[in-house]
A and B are shown apart, each in its own frame.
Chain A
Amino acid sequence: MSQAVNTRPPQELVSWPEPGYTRVPLNVFSDAGLYAWEQDLIFRGPTWSYLGLEIEIPATGDYVTTQVGDTPVIVVRKPDGSINALVNKCVHKGSILCYESKGNRSRAHNFTCPYHNWIYDFDGNLTSVAFEKGIQGKGGMPPDFDKSRHRLIRLRVETIRGLIFGTFSERTPPLREYLGPVMVQHMERTLYGTPKILGRYSQLLPNTNWKLYVENSRDNYHPSLLHAFFSTFKLNRLSAEGGTRQDEKSWHHITFTKRHTDKGDQAYDSGMIRAMKQDYGLRDPSLIDQWMEYPDQITNSIQSIFPGFVLQQILNSLGTRQVITRGVNDCELVWTLLGFEEDTEEQTCVRVKQSNLVGPAGFVSMEDGAIGGFVQKGIRGDLDNVAVIEMGGHDVGSQPTRATETSVRGFWKVYRELMDV
């Protein structure tokens, strides 16, 4: 294991108080040793991590740089149209090869390290070492230096509906098997057109361990309680039809609702729910006008794929969210807002207006940016304590309701399996 060197095994770093997933020891969010193990066992383990969109690298030689956990990765389009993902690290001394967030190597299909000019092809083979034979008869690499024994670490890459995923581990099943039919069907349903990028930005989440954001993305219970916009405008309340879907192993999650089926509930009218504001109105209510984009009448769906990818559909605002780890205490969320090439100008305008709902300035999403910090602040003095996750019962699995934390328990189920804790 490469990251957790000289670290005690995970079983010694965290102690689950009981079997099952209803109690979560709070030090999982703060222990640096566990973070190193997560890099090995989760991000370099049998999981698929989102790398970006095919449309970001349309032409031969186009590349973007991103991260899988802490590992910097180059994602490049090869001449045959396939995509490679390579660790952005020279085998020589470890310098990154590509120091820009995106670019193109169309003239010569290779990556040249800025430090000593070692050159790699798009498959990661080391093809050239500067002054390998020395110069003017002096110096150079020893005669037994064999370039073919040194290569960039390469991820396996698969795509689905224009989304690019990569995995480090040979043990990872193929992507569609990893996702399972429920998740695959939802991705294909949501991304029904030719994606185009409307906007892209990053949200730094300080004081938010990556798992706090991912947990939040799988938490059915909070949307109408934390996000006053959802409740007040009846966009996403538990009184509407909806549910929680998971794959068979509970690694992944979809929450969905149909806004127009909201019949109301005494709970929301009681005045006890902070997020249900009786006296608040928008000056420009066209913000929440939408067209019924999907035949299934679902107006809001959040799909969370372990370990750190979210596919969002909030009214007509579509997009991807990628979780990037930044140490044990912080993480970053990369947002890419999407439309389709097939959209009419009117539809694009609706998506543009609804972009106000999401992202760091999002009427809905901004609170998800703050809430992880609220948790980390609250638990600081009680890291030996536990979180209590019993909403909806004690089990995992799909449920025809959203008054449940079944997918939060699902997250901890995967975590305990992969980390063996």
Chain B
Amino acid sequence: MTFLKKPLALAAALALACLALHPGAASAQKGETVRIAWIDPLSGLMAPIGQNQLKSFQYIAELFNRSNLAGVKFEIVPFDNKVSPAESLTALKSAIDQNIRYVTQGDGSGSAGALVDAINKNNERNPGKEVLFMNYAAVDPDLTNSKCSYWHFRLDADTSMKMEALTTYIKDQKDIHKVYIIGQNYAHGVQVAKYAKADLARKRPDIQIVGEDLHPLAKVTDFAPYVAKIKASGADTVITGNWGSDLSLLVKAANEAGLDVRFFTYYANNAGTPTALGAGAAGRVYFVGYGHPNMGGQIGKLQADFKAKFNDDFYVADIYAEFQLLSEAMAKAKSTDPNKVAAALEGLRLKSYNGDIEMRKTDHQLQQDLWISVWQKTDAKNPYSVENTGYTFAPVAHYDAYVASTPTSCQMKRPA
């Protein structure tokens, strides 16, 4: 495959070089093909999430291929990691064997952590063949704190930032008294519980944590026992970092048992979950994120076009920011070499779909605005019907980047 692509890239480069009207604007990277290894689940319980993300990546890549600042072509090479760290490493190995220099992943901080370790080692051992990791959804704060890496850039807001925003909102909800925390038993679920307790103790010490549970990741098919437990605890609010089937099935079981509590989630907008929410969850399920389905403008147009094309929702909007950042950094570095692009990405600021964003230099954590939105019927102000349910996520709070920003303990080791 590699052998076939190279002449093509060369031909494209030549063609573009000929087309360039003023020689001064032609940079070295123009016309190059940048292959990005996408390493996320395409099988198992989390497959619907992965399939949506892969489609989104291919869609946005195609969009940027029509025109981008760096004049490069992006190509997405998908690998199925079955949400497993071990499988992610196998995928990384084959990506590196195929000379792919850019890796992107998001579903699961366990896999992200394994990738960061392996990429650190690879880059140390193979100078000149560095690999750059764009993390678009794995939100364990450790990845930009104790385990921060020069080669890792995170586009989603991390657990601590999202919890900062959530608790800022919860602080003013006077009818919340008893909170139950449920999560998946791995890095992310543990971190959500930790930050929820710390932040609530700081902002609303009167709120009582009436229960806490961790369950296996992407394995549970019957959440009824957990729902019975939540019900028995007398909780009026549930905080959960669950995603994918673990959130859909939890909400489904809650609806079936008539559990009438508020859910504060990280990922209620993920593929499959909105359908599970249905009418029963209206007004009760919130999610915090770097956007919401009713932002309109440019991202709204993309959403509509995506829906027309695939009859699916484009909701992992930071993929757009990922391509913006990459192409701007490549233009700035005048190269597609990850070594130079990483340096250009540091501290990069630009205007994205959700306002001004900045790739913070100290820890490579993107700084951006956050929204909290609630599941409700579509209306004139919030017209986007999520998963064709007739319901949508309507924003209830908007926080500027600085509100939810959290400090970092990262001691970044930069290559000499």
Are A and B co-members of a single complex?
A: no
